[in-house]
Amino acid sequence: MEKEKYSFKNSIFICVIIILLISLLSVSIILFCFKINKNNLTDNNSPKGVWWWDNRLSDEYLDFAQQNNINEIYYYTSDFSQKNSDFIKNANNRNIDVYWLCGDYVYIDDYSLFYLEMDKFIEFQSLNKDNNFEGVHLDVEPHQNPDWENDRENIIIRYLDFVKTVTERYSDIKFDFDIPFWFDDIINFDNQTKELYKFVFDYADRVFVMSYRDSAEEMVKVSSEELDYAKEINKPIFLSVETGEEEDIVTYYQEGKAYLYSQIENLKDLIKQDFGLAIHHIKSWKELKD
């Protein structure tokens, strides 16, 4: 009888130990997942891109992009050498598409400067069938023109004519355009009167809103009109974050990676439509404090 009691107590003890081990394992898994979410940009079905202004960076940065589920890179180059083909191949092997990044406000007043760059781009594409750019990512910002304050409306008209002209001239090429969130001037152009950002959405294949604020709530707040219009006309939209050393209100530089990732997660809960995410830029993002 004593032996049976002892055996019964042993069984209870073993069960308790097993339950405790299972509980500890569950907690460990939860903490591990939290750590991943805290230290990496988590995966979801939406596109995630990053600006790549410095083409001298090592493959270490490509690895970082891959680890953070980046699937698009906006890659600046002006020489279209073999180096570009190699970069595209390395990125494609990581399931990352590469777009040619370029932009200068002077294009607005002299289209021929842009056409010369496009000639080089088209030649590169034709010679590198297996390692092509996915499209063109244009960062042409009219407000960088020194005369912006005194001649704003005329510069905007010239900018819109540039956007319309190049997208029609190269209609077989996918064009992205970067715009600040405050492009809401009411403009009369092409026999229409509406907000500036709406014209850009109409002509572009995709629009990247520089929603540079350091919280998810503020990013959505400053981009709400663009989000609504993108949904209305069924056009892809990306919200963008800044990680460089800028004014605190516009960048995540002061807060670091963990806070940045938490706010990106919050965006998914706040935005009830499809959208992409773009990070400016790869070097400053990688070097953010953890």
Tokens linked to 207: 């629009």
The per-residue pLDDT for 42 is 80
DSSP 251: B
Lowest mean pLDDT among 3-12, 187-196, 199-208: 3-12
The per-residue pLDDT for 34 is 42
Cα 270 to Cα 281: distance, rounded to the nearest angstrom: 24
pLDDT tens for 192-202 read: 999 999 999 99
pLDDT tens for 69-120 read: 999 999 999 999 999 999 999 999 999 999 999 999 999 999 999 999 999 9
pLDDT tens for 108-156 read: 999 999 999 999 999 999 999 999 999 999 999 999 999 999 999 999 9
- At residue 32 the predicted structure's pLDDT band, cuts being 50, 70 and 90, is very low
| pLDDT surpasses 90 at 46 | no
CA torsion through residues 53, 92, 203, 264, sign:
negative
Cα 286 to Cα 64: distance, rounded to the nearest angstrom: 7
- What is the SS3 assignment for 127-138? HCCCCCCCCEEE
Cα 88 to Cα 84: distance, rounded to the nearest angstrom: 6
| pLDDT surpasses 50 at 36 | no
Query: Among the CATH numbers 3.30.1280.10, 3.20.20.80, 3.40.50.150, 3.30.930.10, which is that of 45-286?
Result: 3.20.20.80
**Contacts for 166-173: CB closer than 8 Å, 24+ residues apart:** 166/111, 166/114, 166/118, 166/138, 167/203, 167/204, 167/205, 170/118, 170/136, 173/135, 173/136
Proportion of the chain above pLDDT 90, given as a percent: 84
Proportion of the chain above pLDDT 70, given as a percent: 87
Q: What is the mean pLDDT of residues 219-241?
A: 98
Give the residue extent of every domain in the chain: 1-39, 45-286
* CA 194 to centroid of chain Cα atoms: 27
| pLDDT surpasses 80 at 16 | no
Number of Cβ within a 10 Å radius of residue 41:
22
| pLDDT surpasses 70 at 20 | no
Q: In 3D, which of 249, 251, 200 has the Cα closest to residue 229?
A: 200
Q: What are phi and psi of 78, to 5 degrees?
A: -130, -5
Q: What is the mean pLDDT of the chain?
A: 91
Lowest mean pLDDT among 19-28, 48-57, 213-222: 19-28
Lowest mean pLDDT among 6-15, 97-106, 218-227: 6-15
Q: What is the mean pLDDT of residues 166-188?
A: 98
Q: Which residue has the tokens 């004014």?
A: 247
Spell out a b/e string for 235-253, using b for 16 or more CB atoms within 10 Å of the CB, else e: bbbbbbbbbbebeeebbbb
The per-residue pLDDT for 41 is 86
- At residue 58 the predicted structure's pLDDT band, cuts being 50, 70 and 90, is very high
* Higher pLDDT, residue 20 or 96: 96
Whether residue 119 contacts residue 102, with contact meaning beta carbons closer than 8 Å, is answered with: no
Whether residue 189 contacts residue 199, with contact meaning beta carbons closer than 8 Å, is answered with: yes
Q: Is 28 exposed, middle or buried (0-12, 13-18, 19+ CB in 10 A)?
A: exposed
